[in-house]
Amino acid sequence: PRDDGYSVGDVYPKGGYRPSEGVQRGSVQDLPVYPGDPLTPDVGATKDAKRLSIQEAKTVLEIPVLPVSYGDAQPLLAALGGPVAPTDWRGALPITYHIGPGPARVHLTIHSDWSQKPIYNVIAMIQGSEHPDEWVIRGNHHDGWVFGAWDPLAANVALMAEAKAIGALVKEGWRPRRTLVYASWDGEEPGLLGSTEWVETHADELRRKAVLYVNSDTNGRGFLRAGGSHSLQTLVNQVAAGVRDPQTGVTVIERLRAKILVDGNQKGADEEDKKIAKRVTSGAAPPISALGSGSDYTPFLQHLGIASLDIRYGGEDKDSGIYHSVYDSFDHYLRFGDPDFAYGVALAETIGHVMLRVANADLLPMRIGDFADTVAQYRDELHKLADDLRERTDQQQRLLDENAFKLAADPAETYLPPEPESRVPFLNFAPLDNALLRLKKSAVACDEACAQATRPDLNVNDAQLTRLNGLLQGLEQTLLHPRGLPGRQWYRHMIYAPGLHTGYGVKTLPGVREAIEQRRWPEVDQYMSIIAGVLKAYSDRLEEVTAAVKKMARY
């Protein structure tokens, strides 16, 4: 209850937080290795697909797992003996936490259903009038744990509202220039099943045709929360500048900017909030976040390299206490979520405008400088990570040499000093640093060229625009590497990935970052070169765009 129960606020039904009977369901599939059907990695789970045995599937773990409520957990935890648990192992139950063992015996009976079951995606397509082979894809899942009012229905109704509005336009004779695809995915909660299997089944076609994937998952009252490919950051901010916040009447970007500044300047603000606030204070636009996993954008972005966004509203609601439980109900959403459904309207308006902007743009609305600046920030974080780790390791070794751990320990207790950690060697960041210097230069030139390409006096014809858009469409795919990440080849994006040990949480420049964290030093050099290579390919593509525009300007 420390995170989302009575320790935080009144529990449901009096308040919005998790009652003692609340059980949080969730997938126990090892999603950071690969999502989707555990038996068909890399291929669609069609009727005739070759399947692994359950014993061969890497994402089916061997330890049985069943979630329980904190009310049911209390007598089990209270029965544990042994040493008192460390501070960060303790929750908020009225017991003394021990780490075990204890005298109590628990009888566990397991009934597992290993049968295969069908799932059903719902896909609708509106053919583009000019570029039918360029797809702008919108998705949200429709399955939920129990009632699913917050997750997924609060956002799925926004998707349906968008589709209804666009359908009304089509009935009046309007057509998008690019093809619109609307998808309501099944099987997201057990492991991103519907979206992943659809992506794997249609992978070749999607690589050729997909321009953008826009995802939503849940929605509530509060602030705009957007994440995704940073080449789309300016697009998100431009759309947000045209959407009104339902509660205050200002634009959602104005309200978000105010939130960033307040959070970053209040007492006790964390370092990341401070850095973002400082950049926004100096005139930078509010950033979008990097995406890890946990929703249906994962196969599009992480596996196929399709530029993606995940958009929602929230932060002033009380959804965490009923997440993935039977209490995720219509009553809870009305009382503690978005009572007037105003933010559902805002979500439909926001994503609807993103979809139509991209579907009808002469030139795909990307700003590459945002991506280059963001990756440079990730590189700076790696430098700091390595420096901090080196300093900490050296300090630990000094303490071991001075016998400080033994002297500081209670002589009445058995104590072993920590094992010495491997020294941090010299890490050669030069390939990455050089790749980023070129990327920045190429990004500035490409952004300037794209701005020139849409000038009326340049008279760029349809064939020339199609070539430029084809180059821009494939940009994100250059950030993939066929080797994938260590131990999980399915994840091929070298800039964003879920952490192997952090669940949904993102790791940026993951091949290098996780290698440093785990002290796998040869791997650091390998992935430093791999990331430099994909950034070089990205810069090559940018320079193709710039050269093509310059050639157009001469004629």
pLDDT surpasses 80 at 407: yes
The Cα 307–Cα 32 span in angstroms is 20
Query: What's the mean pLDDT in 365-371?
Result: 98
- What is the structure's pLDDT at 244? 98
Query: What's the mean pLDDT in 187-209?
Result: 98
- What is the structure's pLDDT at 553? 77
- Which tokens go with 39? 């038996």
- What pairs with residue 227 in β-bridges? 289, 310
The Cα 162–Cα 138 span in angstroms is 10
Band (pLDDT 50/70/90 cuts) for residue 303 is very high
Annotation says 197 is catalytic: no
- What pairs with residue 125 in β-bridges? 181
| Segment (H or E) for 133 | strand 131-141
Q: Convert the pLDDT of each residue in 243-253 to its tens digit.
A: 999 999 999 99
Q: Convert the pLDDT of each residue in 466-522 to its tens digit.
A: 999 999 999 999 999 999 999 999 999 999 999 999 888 999 999 999 999 999 999
Share of the chain above pLDDT 70, in %: 100
| Segment (H or E) for 375 | helix 368-401
pLDDT surpasses 70 at 124: yes
Query: What's the mean pLDDT in 87-98?
Result: 96
From 134, 188, 189, 349, active-site residue: 188
State the Cα torsion 282-287-290-295 to the nearest 10°. 160
Domains, the chain, ordered by start: 122-361 (3.40.630.10), 369-553 (1.20.930.40)
The Cα 167–Cα 173 span in angstroms is 10
The Cα 101–Cα 217 span in angstroms is 41
Is the distance from CB of 60 to CB of 38 less than 8 angstroms?
yes
| Of 466, 442, 461, 404, the residue nearest 542 (C-alpha) | 442
Is the distance from CB of 469 to CB of 461 less than 8 angstroms?
no
Is the pTM higher than 0.85? The answer reads yes
The mean predicted confidence, pLDDT, of the chain is 96
In this predicted model, which residue has the larger pLDDT, 123 or 461? 123
